[in-house]
Structure formats: structure tokens, C-alpha cells
Structure 1
Amino acid sequence: MKKIAIALLVFIAVGNLTAQDYKHSLQGIKKVKIASESGVIAKTHSQNEVLIKGEGRETPEKAKGLKAVYSGGSDNTGIGIYVQKEGETLIIRNLKGMHSETLEIYLPKEINITTESSNLGSLSFSGFSSEIEARTNVGGITLKNVTGPIVAKTATGEINIVFDKVSQSSPISIVSATGAIDVSLPSNTPANLELKTSMGEIYTDFDIKFPVEHKNMKVISGKRAINTQINNGGVDITLRSSTGNIYLRKK
């Protein structure tokens, strides 16, 4: 009997949630700006539109005939998200608080993206061959199979980035105030490197001629910035962590 009652409660709870998707054309759009207090997951798809996945909760009985309002703006999507086109930029603002579900978004892989999680939330992107700017307050940043240019910055959190290849068009900057940085580059990447950690160590398996080894990776004192080149130099890549190790790996 108890199991039946629990199952009934779960059924009722699930029944109060209605899956909702929101789509918006990206015709004439060159950049998407996303602001969210919770986390964001961005993936690629083949359509020239943004697809936002969400769960819409049924309106409580007492709220019938009313609409939810948020301090960050008006919900013009029906899923607690504000979307507005401004010139060649599409603004996406998550109006719900930092304890809401992670925002899941699908975009074309070539679209430029700026994303900020202002409170507690991590950012995750995969498969983009475009410019990405990702900032968090408390939360990690994970970028997989990207090309850049990349600007990634967090006050508290780890940054993990795997490059498919590295765009030479603009500098790359990866900064964590408190947290490790782990970056994987194709072994033939031409780059000018600036590496610095104030309270940590720097490890790499790139051949930048430092003699001390640790598990097949060279360890470098992090007290000063290290400026060096790989593959005869190329795009500027900066990796900085105030408190945390830096790992620069060959992919």
C-alpha cells in the first residue's frame, strides 16, 4: 500500500510538469548573449534557430488568470525566459533564480556566443566552431570540441577546455581566480603562451624545454608569468590561475 501511495505521488508530481520547447529564428543574427543565474548547457544542431528546452510547471489554481512576473524582465516565451533581438544580437535571459533547472540550449555551431552565470551555475558548451565568451561567479566552465577564439573566466571554479583545433584569428584568454585550469590543444598548434599561477604549479607535455618532470609532464614554477612559444609561435594564449594548478596537454 505504501509503495502504491508513493508511486501515486510521483505520478501527480510528474503530471504537474509539462515539457516545453521554445524556438526563435537566427536569421540576421551573428551573436547570442545568454544570461542566467543557474547553469547553462549549450549544444549544436543543424537548424538556423535557437532551441531552448524547458519544463513548464502548470499554473497553480490560485494563479489562474494571472501571470508570473520576474525582476529581470517579462516572460515572453512561456518558460520563464526573456528573448529579444537587438540588431544582430539575440538576447536570452533566464528569469528564474539560481536554484532553477539548468538551461539547455541548442544553437548552430558557427554562431558566436556570450554567456554569463551570475550566481551559482556552471557552463558547458560542446561542438562549437565560433567565438565563445563564458563567465561564471561560482561554477565551473567546460568547453569540448571547440575551436575558439575563447574567453573563459570564473571567480570560483575549474575550467576544462578541449580544442578540436585552435583559431588563429584572435587571442585566447582563460582565467580562474580560484580553481584549476586544464586545457588540451592539438599537438601541432602554433601559439605564443603566457602561463601563470600564483599558488599552484603548471604542468605540460609540450616541448618548452623545462627540465623537471612529473609523470611525463614538465612542472614549472608558478611564481612568475612564463612566456614561451610552441610550434614557432602563433595566436596568443593566456592561462592564469590565482589559486590552482594549470595543466596544458597535447591532444
Structure 2
Amino acid sequence: MKNARLITVLAALFVMCSVIAQEKSIDLFSVPLSNPSSRGKLVIDQISGSIHVEAYEGNEVVIKASFESEKRHYKEKNKHNGMKRIEGSSMAISAEEKNNVVQVINEQWNKVTNLEVKVPKNFSLKLSTVNDGNISVKGVNGEMEISNVNGEITLESVSGSASTDTVNGDITVYFNSITKDANMAFSSLNGDVDITFPSSLKADVKAKSDMGEIFTDFDMQIAANKPEVNKNNSSGTYKVKIEQWVRGKINGGGPEMLFKTFNGDILIKSK
């Protein structure tokens, strides 16, 4: 099928199992694109482990993995009448390509799987992980949607646009260039948000840190916080509040750039 290719690692292959038993890091597979001359997209959504994506000069998606020790759901003292436990070496990772969208499916629920992926430079990304890992991207030019729960997010020398969020971890992004008129958001609960933009950035900034500070070396025009009035005639209530958000304009304003953390600092830098 020209527009859809499925590449699967089969756990039943004895040779593959033997290699896995001896090595903690292996090359999985390369996924060709339906249209290599057009922009593609990588989608990874996994439970445990890190994801590292790096741009290269090729036109396929190349995937490598390393595995940490299996999670033990039993007490070591249970030996089943002296029988020896055989370490599991089965794999459940596959990749599907359709219309230049490559989705990596990781069903290794009992292993921490760290994925290393190479993609063509002009590529969009949708990456997420939950536990035991960080997400990092290097050199990619595209639209990036990155989500983590217990780990950091680092985007190095990227171009395009990004939306990033994590619960426990820092967010660090360095843009070589950005997509014009693209809204972006960077949010952490417990961690610093450190974003570097080109000095030509035009943006409407909305930033908030409950337990930290906000810093910038841009010449930002700060808007005054005006009380927000909510009057309900039917109930007769009149409510006034002032938001904690800092709002401002950089280079006259532009698309909205949202920066948010509860316990950490926000740094909006110019390169």
C-alpha cells in the first residue's frame, strides 16, 4: 500500500529476542515517507521513558530505543518453589506511516522505553510522555506540540512554533526563528519557563508566576492591570477582581505568547 506502511517489531523472533537480552540499546526501524519532498509529522504518545528527536539530512524517520529494567510487581522472596525467573525480552513497539504522518506506538507498559528519533529538518511534532523521562528536540523546523508530566522539556535550536506543558519540570526553548503570527504557550506547574526568541519578535505577552518572578531583556510595554467587573443583575451581585497576569507588548505587539508557572521563574529572552 503506497500511502500506508506498517513496520512492526515482532516479539516472537528468536534472534531479536537474543539481541535484546544482551543489549540495552537497539536500532528498531526506519520508516519511509509517502511523499519525502513534503513536510511530515511525528506522533509519539507513551507512558514511561524519555523522547529525544533530532533533525538530520535524510528523508526517513529513524527510530532507536533503549530499555531500563522492568518494573517488578511481585516480592523478590517469592521464588515459586526454587524456580528461576527468566527476564522478559518481548517487544511491543510499532510505527505506522500514512500521508507523511508517522505514529510510533509503544505498548511497553512494563518497561521504561527511551526513544531516540531522527527526522527530516522540516517536520512537525506531537510528543508526550508521563513518567520516568524528559522530552528533548534539536534542530527541527515545524509546528511542535510537546507534553510531559514528570519531566523536563528542552527544545534546542528549533524553528517554527511550539506549545509546551509539563507538571513537574523546567521548560527550556531556544528558537532560531519563529513562524509569523503563530500563537504559542509554555506552561509548567513546578519548574522554570526559560524561552529565547529572535530579537525581532513581535508579540502580545501574557505571563503569570504565582511563587516566582518574571524576567525579560526585551523592551516590553507593560499594560496596567485594570479591575474586571462582573455584574449580575438577576442575582444582584457585583464582583470586582484584578488578574495576576502580566500583560505587555514586544515590538508593538503580535500573536499571543502565554507563559505560566506556579512554582518557578519565567525568563523571556532575546537572542
Q: Give TM class, smaller chain.
A: 0.7 to 0.9
> Does 1:240 find its partner at 2:253?
no
> Does 1:50 find its partner at 2:88?
no
Give yes or no for contact 1:23–1:52 (8 Å, CA) kept in 2.
Answer: yes
> Unmatched 5+ residue regions in structure 2?
1-18, 69-84, 223-242
> Does 1:115 find its partner at 2:114?
no
Residue aligned with 2:61, SS: strand
Moved more, 138-147 or 234-243: 234-243
| Residues 1-55 of structure 1: CA deviation (Å, up to 9, x unaligned) | xxxxxxxxxxxx9992274241011224732111232001100112221001235
Alignment size in residue pairs: 211
**2:166 match:** 154
| Residues 140-161 of structure 1: CA deviation (Å, up to 9, x unaligned) | 0000111231010001110000
Give yes or no for contact 1:20–1:56 (8 Å, CA) kept in 2.
Answer: no
Offset at residue 233 of structure 1 (A): 1.4
Offset at residue 89 of structure 1 (A): 2.5
| Residues 192-243 of structure 1: CA deviation (Å, up to 9, x unaligned) | 1111111111011111257xxxxxxxxxxxx711111111112221111111
Bigger Rg, which one? 2
Matched residues in 1 for 2:126 and 2:20: separation? 33
Moved more, 24-33 or 95-104: 95-104
**2:90 match:** 68
**1:30 match:** 40
Q: Structure 1's 82 and 163: CA in aligned 2 closer, same or farther, altered over 3 A?
A: same
Moved more, 147-156 or 86-95: 86-95
Offset at residue 108 of structure 1 (A): 0.9
TM-score where L is the length of structure 2: 0.70
For 2:198, give the aligned amino acid: P
**1:39 match:** 50
TM-score where L is the length of structure 1: 0.75
Matched residues in 1 for 2:257 and 2:110: separation? 32
Residue aligned with 1:93, SS: strand
| Residues 153-209 of structure 1: CA deviation (Å, up to 9, x unaligned) | 001110000010121242111100111100111112111111111111101111125
**1:229 match:** 249
For 1:27, give the aligned amino acid: S
Give yes or no for contact 2:158–2:177 (8 Å, CA) kept in 1.
Answer: yes
Give the ranges of 4+ consecutive aligned residues of structure 1 lying more than 4 Å apart after TM superposition. Answer: none
Offset at residue 68 of structure 1 (A): 2.4
Matched residues in 1 for 2:190 and 2:101: separation? 31
